[in-house]
Amino acid sequence: MAPHLVQPGWRFWRQAACTLGASVQHRTWAGVSRIPRLGSPWGATATSPRVYRSGFSTSPRAPEVMLTRERYPVRRLPFSVVSGEDLAAFERIVPGRVITDPEVLEASNVDWLRTVRGSSVLLLRPRTTEEVSHILRHCHERNLAVNPQGGNTGMVGGSVPVFDEIILSTALMNQVISFHDMSGTLVCQAGCVLEDLSRHVEERGFVMPLDLGAKGSCHIGGNVATNAGGLRFLRYGSLHGTVLGLEVVLADGTVLNCLSTLRKDNTGYDLKQLFIGSEGTLGVITAVSILCPPKPRAVSVAFLSCPGFSEVLQTFSTCKGLLGEILSAYEFMDAECMWLVTHHLRLASPVQDPSRFIPDQHTGRRYHVAESVCASEPVDPESPFYVLIETSGSRAGHDAEKLNDFLEQVLSSGLVTDGTVATDHMKVKALWALRERISEALSRDGYVYKYDLSLPTERLYDLVTDLRARLGPRAKHVVGYGHLGDGNLHLNVTSEAFSPSVLGALEPYVYEWTAEQRGSVSAEHGLGFKKRGVLGYSKPPEALRLMQQLKALLDPKGILNPYKTLPAQA
Amino acid sequence: MAPHLVQPGWRFWRQAACTLGASVQHRTWAGVSRIPRLGSPWGATATSPRVYRSGFSTSPRAPEVMLTRERYPVRRLPFSVVSGEDLAAFERIVPGRVITDPEVLEASNVDWLRTVRGSSVLLLRPRTTEEVSHILRHCHERNLAVNPQGGNTGMVGGSVPVFDEIILSTALMNQVISFHDMSGTLVCQAGCVLEDLSRHVEERGFVMPLDLGAKGSCHIGGNVATNAGGLRFLRYGSLHGTVLGLEVVLADGTVLNCLSTLRKDNTGYDLKQLFIGSEGTLGVITAVSILCPPKPRAVSVAFLSCPGFSEVLQTFSTCKGLLGEILSAYEFMDAECMWLVTHHLRLASPVQDPSRFIPDQHTGRRYHVAESVCASEPVDPESPFYVLIETSGSRAGHDAEKLNDFLEQVLSSGLVTDGTVATDHMKVKALWALRERISEALSRDGYVYKYDLSLPTERLYDLVTDLRARLGPRAKHVVGYGHLGDGNLHLNVTSEAFSPSVLGALEPYVYEWTAEQRGSVSAEHGLGFKKRGVLGYSKPPEALRLMQQLKALLDPKGILNPYKTLPAQA
């Protein structure tokens, strides 16, 4: 049963009317079928081609990305250089899958954000754990540095080489090993694409416990190696809880088989936990066992407009109480985010308030009716916020009742000024795209300074407001969005091109601000190359020392993903 | 709204009639108020006195527990012996909290199951992390072995000394540090009793994400150190997911402050994970930050009788589908368990079938009407099973509808033959007591051989049936119960007294059987002292080697909880 509301001004889509491209009441959605999803580099529903990011790098208009070693003060560590004998040895291990073609390598040397670029001359594509083991044994003996790479969708430069590290791609390790229909336990190779896995388990009545904007490209091994959070974190929690087992190849080629499918196993230390979030610096994940929750029978998404951040917070409290166990996501985005996705990606806002904005059909810019301010300039902080609330439950009628009660309450109390609800699968996806594709829209806006912070929810947005004032016209946009339900802010700043002055105004200011709130300077993106120097803002020296000891224990020569995660040692 | 059923033979309690001791329709429940909860050593609802287990040890009838070093082939490692100078140093660190009185020490030297006994001459009771740090620094310098101890409710001899290790009790570290009303984040010292914490957060609209039979005694620090699973695991998952931060004192006294309250923090390796489930062998947990879910507004418990194990499994599948997100526990127990709790603890079964059994009021024994077989002998495997299903949700009416639909389906299909449902708090607790107090009932039945296994659910009960045949009259009882929803079987065997012959028939048979199924030889109890030798049945040699390396890294002198978790090294 679909939810229904009689609230004046509330736009409701009946499920029957929600097929893609069908005529719907709400004018901004008449063009829903125009959403350029397929072929998008970061498309929520895109299915092909897979290596979207390479589409960027091969674009004739895309400027060359500066080499990491030139932009950043980093020195190559004394690893060996790949020799002819090494190439011959690798050819014996992975025949026909030893790639040295610079054009092919280009896509693997540059991160998808196009902010860092390595100069690797060798890409290896193993198919099996045994092959990975042989490769690493050889690299360990020869002191060759290795950069494990999944879908290369990371945000912090962790997935591409810094210098000439050998790129060890999991792209061909893409087999599902088993799925247990009763328990929902999936076992698969590390290179399976998240979206493929989602499809695989959804056909069997389950869902993956994680979902993220990069699902069409990212590999499950990379998700685990970076402890990806994503859009279902609020409901299904961290990978530290949902990953049941891992198979990992250690730096010296030892295969560590902890690929358990058991929900509970307290035999000794839980070694797999060490590798979750270690960004490929402690071992190469080759297979994953993960618990998939049953697929909800009913999913609804409400996309709402809130007049201020305080109302965003109060709406969250209200929905936790009234939606309870069916609440599966609570995301927020500010008005600038909405401008970016509508402008750069031509997505349509389902909750535009025509009395407030008039979009210019030719330029894509929007104008405040009252003030006639060009919105491509920083929007003032009084602009509205949007929240996306997802419910997932086992009984559509019950869920609709809960959602309706919630919506009536937030509308009547003024916490929410406008909104729309979808239950149809395609409409749900289209609403999610508004939130999921912000990152893509930002990358089209210019050079992006990305911050992924955990903060006390009450103060989450203060930093955005603060930075707008601090940066003034130096920034093209300063936007805040993210997983409010998890206290996770994605703070992004764009400028026309990389600017040391903007960077200097942002750092260490953002990190100090976060540390003062006892927040995390990397909530879910990890540290990779770009953030490794800021670990100390969120962890004490004793923790840092222990991390370095663990690295030395597991990878004594430091060949695994060097220059990543841990700060450079003096 | 309460659930209702018109199914003939179905006994339903209306919430109004469910106050404790009120006259209810069902005769076996007329005596519910007689349940001896208070003062019980393992009482589900007991609140005092705290150190229940000492009630056992001081009982004049309780036989002396054999010293561990006499029963098991274990050799003392070359640690120092506590000297007068050490005592003086400790007196300076924790003045007035240096205990050497043998009578007080007795309770801390013996495990609650009364199967192992150390001979420590010193118990220290720090109040602060700083005191723990000073104690460990001294012990590290002096090469004194330390046995961290929480509520001493462990099942595997992990919480008591093997020889003369100094007992470091967290009993006085029992302060709640903070609770955040919006996020539900609790920060507290390690010695807080789980039940106290439950009460604390429930008063604020939240629940602890874990619950277990020992809640009245166990400490949260011990729960985390042993990665306790318990009764809410099915709903809220593992402590690896719900623990947000830890403060740990390392072997040399270093304080590792990872007491984050953030849901997401990907800054470097997630060090806290190392200590979850490490049984005090890698560090002493002094404070815990844990995420508490909102308190469900409605809780129902159904206690059902199933005619066979196949029906137990099918009932589980059915309830996962129909109850969905409100399912919070699925526990099972066999008929012998029911006999034990009704006989030893005088609990009343809510679903006894009078046509099948006649309890003898004088002896407590029960007789099958048809066969007149004394049930203190092993019950034949065709005897019924019981399942306890808990639902927790935000809307009583919705939950009741779901539960009713489920019950109608399982009753009409014959998967369930009888049952009762409770929504009243006290009745819910009373039903839970049947399941939670099995362990206590077993301890009153004789010497208990305990196995805590993860197995594929389809084969979970085969081992119990198998062992009944294998052991024959040598065993008093062979029982199976546990967290079916998590694939976790508690297999217990009792005999009048410890018998090497029974042990020989059980081990390594049980472990080999489990390993053949790729199960875990310790699902949630850990390895402690008694199971440390069987780690190899569930983990490969490479994993064992890495565990030993981690131990050597974090505790190079091996002073923390020696003889525990890892097998003795050659």
How does pLDDT run across B167-192, given as a tens digit for each residue? 999 999 999 999 998 889 999 999 99
Q: pLDDT (tens digit, 9 = 90+) per residue, B223-259?
A: 999 999 988 999 999 999 999 999 999 999 999 999 9
Whether B553 has its CB under 8 Å from any CB of chain A: the answer is: yes
CB contact under 8 A, A325 and B260: no
Residue A231 pLDDT grade (very low, low, confident, very high; cuts 50, 70, 90): confident
Q: What is chain A's mean pLDDT, rounded? A: 85
Which pLDDT score, from 0 to 100, does residue B18 have? 28
For the beta sheet containing B146-149, the strands, ordered from the edge strand earlier in sequence to the opposite edge, are: B98-99, B123-124, B166-169, B146-149
> β-strand B243-249 against B255-258: which pairing, if any?
antiparallel
Give SS3 for B23. Answer: coil
Neighboring chain A residues of B392 at a CB cutoff of 8 Å: 325
Task: Print the SS3 string covering B516-570.
Answer: HCCCECECCCCCCCCCHHHHHHCCCHHHHHHHHHHHHHHCCCCCECCCCCCCCCC
Task: Please say if the pLDDT value at position A105 is more than 90.
Answer: yes
Find, in chain B, the residue whose alpha carbon is nearest to that of A228: B266
Which pLDDT score, from 0 to 100, does residue A32 have? 24
Q: Which of A317, A393, A454 sits opposite B262 (nearest CB)?
A: A454
Residue A562 pLDDT grade (very low, low, confident, very high; cuts 50, 70, 90): very high
For the beta sheet containing B243-249, the strands, ordered from the edge strand earlier in sequence to the opposite edge, are: B176-180, B185-189, B284-291, B243-249, B255-258
Q: Which of A242, A269, A402 sits opposite B278 (nearest CB)?
A: A269
Residue B374 pLDDT grade (very low, low, confident, very high; cuts 50, 70, 90): very low
User: Is residue A204 a contact partner of residue A428, using CB atoms and an 8 Å limit?
Assistant: no
Task: Print the SS3 string covering A12-69.
Answer: ECCHHHCCCCCCCCCHHHCCHHHCCCCCCCCCCCCCCCCCHHHHHHCCCCCCCCCCHH
Q: pLDDT (tens digit, 9 = 90+) per residue, A467-490?
A: 999 999 999 999 999 999 889 999
Task: Please say if the pLDDT value at position B8 is more than 50.
Answer: no
Which pLDDT score, from 0 to 100, does residue A37 have? 26
Q: Which of A257, A395, A565 sits opposite B268 (nearest CB)?
A: A565
Which pLDDT score, from 0 to 100, does residue B3 have? 35
Whether B240 has its CB under 8 Å from any CB of chain A: the answer is: yes
Which pLDDT score, from 0 to 100, does residue B570 have? 57
**Mean per-residue pLDDT for B216-227?**
97
CB contact under 8 A, B542 and A265: no
Whether A488 has its CB under 8 Å from any CB of chain B: the answer is: yes
**Mean per-residue pLDDT for A540-557?**
98
**How far is residue B53's CA from residue A479's CA, in Å, rounded to a whole number?**
58
Residue A18 pLDDT grade (very low, low, confident, very high; cuts 50, 70, 90): very low
User: Is residue B562 a contact partner of residue B79, using CB atoms and an 8 Å limit?
Assistant: yes
User: Is residue A306 a contact partner of residue A553, using CB atoms and an 8 Å limit?
Assistant: no
**How far is residue B466's CA from residue B298's CA, in Å, rounded to a whole number?**
40
Which pLDDT score, from 0 to 100, does residue A485 have? 85
Residue B77 pLDDT grade (very low, low, confident, very high; cuts 50, 70, 90): very high
Q: Which of A324, A521, A553 sits opposite B267 (nearest CB)?
A: A521
Whether B535 has its CB under 8 Å from any CB of chain A: the answer is: yes
Q: Indicate the length of chain B as a whole number.
A: 570
Find, in chain B, the residue whose alpha carbon is nearest to that of A538: B267
Task: Please say if the pLDDT value at position B24 is more than 90.
Answer: no
| Alpha-carbon distance A473 to nearest alpha carbon in chain B (angstroms) | 31
Find, in chain B, the residue whose alpha carbon is nearest to that of A547: B269
Cβ-Cβ pairs closer than 8 A, A with B, add up to: 255
User: Over pLDDT 90: what percentage of chain A?
Assistant: 79
**CA angle in degrees (0–180, nearest 5) for A439-A441-A442:** 65
Q: What is chain B's mean pLDDT, rounded? A: 85
The identity of residue A437, as a single letter, is: R
Whether B526 has its CB under 8 Å from any CB of chain A: the answer is: yes
Find, in chain A, the residue whose alpha carbon is nearest to that of B246: A543
Whether B517 has its CB under 8 Å from any CB of chain A: the answer is: no
Which pLDDT score, from 0 to 100, does residue B70 have? 95
CB contact under 8 A, B323 and A394: yes
User: Is residue A297 a contact partner of residue A395, using CB atoms and an 8 Å limit?
Assistant: yes
User: Is residue A327 a contact partner of residue A300, using CB atoms and an 8 Å limit?
Assistant: no
Q: Which of B242, B267, B483 sits opposite A522 (nearest CB)?
A: B267
Which pLDDT score, from 0 to 100, does residue A7 have? 37
Neighboring chain A residues of B182 at a CB cutoff of 8 Å: 317, 457-458
Q: Which of B266, B325, B550 sits opposite A277 (nearest CB)?
A: B266
Which pLDDT score, from 0 to 100, does residue A15 have? 29
Report which secondary-structure segment, H or E, holds A142: helix A129-142
Q: What are phi and psi of A328, to 5 degrees?
A: -120, -10
Task: Please say if the pLDDT value at position A56 is more than 60.
Answer: no
Neighboring chain B residues of A528 at a CB cutoff of 8 Å: none
Residue B84: Cβ-neighbour burial (10 angstroms; 0-12, 13-18, 19+): exposed
| Alpha-carbon distance B528 to nearest alpha carbon in chain A (angstroms) | 9
Task: Print the SS3 string covering A151-217.
Answer: CCCCCCCCCCCCCCCEEEECCCCCCEEEEECCCCEEEEECCCEHHHHHHHHHCCCECCCCCCHHHHC
Q: Which domains does chain A have, with CATH numbers?
A: 11-45+296-516 (3.30.70.2190), 52-169 (3.30.43.10), 176-291 (3.30.465.10)
Task: Please say if the pLDDT value at position B357 is more than 60.
Answer: no
Whether B469 has its CB under 8 Å from any CB of chain A: the answer is: no
Q: pLDDT (tens digit, 9 = 90+) per residue, A178-205?
A: 999 888 999 999 999 999 999 999 999 9
**B positions 51-110 inside 8 Å of A (CB):** none
| Alpha-carbon distance B526 to nearest alpha carbon in chain A (angstroms) | 5
Distances (CA, A) of B373 to B358, B362, B367, B377, B522: 11, 17, 6, 8, 34
Give the up-direction half-sphere exposure of residue B255: CA atoms within 13 A in the CB hemisphere.
13
Task: Please say if the pLDDT value at position B161 is more than 90.
Answer: yes
Q: pLDDT (tens digit, 9 = 90+) per residue, B252-286?
A: 999 999 999 999 999 999 999 999 999 999 999 99
**Which value does ipTM take for this structure?**
0.86
Which pLDDT score, from 0 to 100, does residue B110 have? 97
**How far is residue A469's CA from residue B152's CA, in Å, rounded to a whole number?**
56
> β-strand B255-258 against B418-422: which pairing, if any?
unpaired
Neighboring chain B residues of A241 at a CB cutoff of 8 Å: 237-238, 240-242
**A positions 371-410 inside 8 Å of B (CB):** 392-395, 398, 401-402
Residue B64 pLDDT grade (very low, low, confident, very high; cuts 50, 70, 90): confident
Q: pLDDT (tens digit, 9 = 90+) per residue, B305-342?
A: 999 999 999 999 999 999 999 999 999 999 999 999 99
Give SS3 for B360. Answer: coil
**How far is residue B557's CA from residue B305's CA, in Å, rounded to a whole number?**
53
Most confident of A64-68, B484-488, B560-564: B560-564
Q: pLDDT (tens digit, 9 = 90+) per residue, A301-345?
A: 999 999 999 999 999 999 999 999 999 999 999 999 999 999 999
Which pLDDT score, from 0 to 100, does residue A230 have? 87
The identity of residue A46, as a single letter, is: A
Q: pLDDT (tens digit, 9 = 90+) per residue, A331-342?
A: 999 999 999 999
Residue A570 pLDDT grade (very low, low, confident, very high; cuts 50, 70, 90): low
